[in-house]
Amino acid sequence: MSKSKSPAVVKVRRATRTDIPDLVELNIAAYPNLAEDNIVWGESHLASHLRIFPQGQFVAEVKGRIVGAASTLVVNMGPDALRNHTWSGVTDSGYFTNHDIAADTLYGADVYVHPDARGLGVGAALYDARRKLCRKLNKRRILAGGRLWNYREHADKFSPQEYAELVAAGEMRDLVLSFQLREGFQLRRVMPNYLQDPNSRNHASLIEWLNPDYNPEKSGARKVRVACVQYQMREVTSFEEFARQVNYFVDVAADSDADFVLFPELFSVQLLSMTKTKSPREGMRQLAKYAPRLVKLMSKLAVQYGVTLISGGHPTKVGRELRNVASICLPDGSVTEQHKLHITPNERKWWGISGGHPLPVIEAPNAKVGVLICYDSEFPEAARYLADQGAEIIFVPFCTNDRQGYLRVRTCSAARAVENQVYVALAGNVGNLPDVENMDVQYGQAAILTPSDFMFARDGIAAEADSNEETVLICDLDLDDLHEARALGTVTPRLDRREDLFQMQTHLVPLPAAQPDAIGPLGSQRDWSREQNPEGG
């Protein structure tokens, strides 16, 4: 990167998971002294930002190279939005797990720019992207904290508040605050102990930008749109033909502004129609060879259409075992696996499928979700665990060959919705594959089920499709209603559990966690943030 400060075209776009290694390197380049102490963003922090709030993470490019980035979340500041706070507290130690999309304050957690690109307008472009996002989301304000970069040089003459006021009046220059004021922000106060920083003596400015287009009437309820694909089994002659069918259904759902698209369990089994196998067990192992291509396809479509895709379930080799694995593909390109936990006698006997683990709750952009594959919905403990971990919607992809099997899944899913006060969405296959043994006939009826209370549909059914007809069932779900029912419903089973009588113990294997040594002091020294960039916070 040339150090010339001639005008440059700065392109700002949303960050993706493939950018993470570059962002880690950019952070090191922006703060070489801090990098020696490992006080930089780690991959786990950046991955958490993209998983929780992908639309709030930006990168800036000049001539195709990433030269700057900004991290943003939405926070609930309570009745006093301008109160004192710490960087660690407002960002949940840098992981953004306190992100609340329903709140009215967009918070600028960080902006960092490559040293060679400073002075090219990169910071200004990133701040402009934040203002546009604030308007788009109809948030009341943007708040940010920035350390008083040059305060140490004047600490013997002025208090932090006096110093900040002199900068705001234009009588002194501060590398961070002066830039923020030029970007249209107002100084609201000086916060002590915001972050650990000798230059600012741990003080930071609290700056605010008020959205002139803010309309509180538009804030409305927190809703998500769910699309359940009732998938018709049919013969295919190639993987590309299968991919075109999948793309078609995702396109239909995306045209309807769906946030989530659920495919049935084993909808990919139609790939066996183009192969000849001697037995159902051999067929499942042949199908497992397509697992990487299927995940790649679904992840690509999730990114392309900006939706969260749940791929149902597909035979997948895990060590020596064959498991039934669903992929939850987020619009940022990340993929989480959900293994089927409970295996039916038929699956075990004919296909040689083994049960797996773990059971994660996924932080999708619009809601916290979990997945129970077909038979798993018939075990109350699994849904209880997901609900206790914060799941708001449980997706149940299923594959049943008769009405009795379907009703087991449907009835148990309705019970899970009532017991745990969650939404449950179901999608299954329909039609037949005459030449595929043990998968020849399918029975299905997609449905979206709710708790049973006044704020929901009368029968606890938000929507349902006609049985055994290929279609896409689309429905809006109000998450605010869900949380209101949990606190103030006619019955409150989540609050009224007799834990003095019954307790659930789990032996689930957790997802692998990042090691603190690999992610920097933001993960291990959770009381303080890293230093901020000279172009603002």
Nearest-angstrom CA–CA distance, 32 and 38:
10
Whether 374 is catalytic is yes
Cis peptide before 451 (omega within 30 of 0): no
> Strand, helix or coil at 218?
helix
Query: Order of strands across the sheet with 204-210?
Result: 10-14, 57-62, 65-75, 105-113, 141-147, 204-210, 186-191
Whether 265 is catalytic is yes
- Specify which residues 464 forms β-bridges with: 447
Nearest-angstrom CA–CA distance, 537 and 72:
10
Whether 340 is catalytic is yes
- Label each residue of 312-357 as H, E or C: CEEEEEECCEEEEEEEEECCCCCEEEEECCCCCHHHHHHHCEECCC
Nearest-angstrom CA–CA distance, 139 and 77:
13
Catalytic residue (choose from 139, 183, 228, 265): 265
- Structure tokens of 162? 């006096």
Nearest-angstrom CA–CA distance, 162 and 2:
39
- Structure tokens of 251? 């396109």
Number of helices (H), then strands (E), belonging to the chain: the values are 16, 22
Catalytic residue (choose from 134, 228, 329, 374): 374
Nearest-angstrom CA–CA distance, 268 and 272:
8
- Structure tokens of 157? 């003459």
- One-letter identity of residue 464: E
Long-range CB contacts (< 8 A, 24+ apart) of 278-287? 279/437, 280/350, 280/351, 280/437, 280/438, 280/439, 281/350, 281/351, 281/352, 283/351, 283/436, 283/437, 283/438, 284/315, 284/322, 284/351, 284/352, 284/353, 285/315, 285/317, 285/322, 287/314, 287/315
Nearest-angstrom CA–CA distance, 403 and 500:
39
Distance (Å) of CA 334 to CA 299, 355, 425, 513: 7, 24, 22, 16
Segment holding 429, helix H or strand E: strand 423-432
Nearest-angstrom CA–CA distance, 258 and 239:
25
Catalytic residue (choose from 134, 340, 392, 475): 340
Catalytic positions = 265, 340, 374
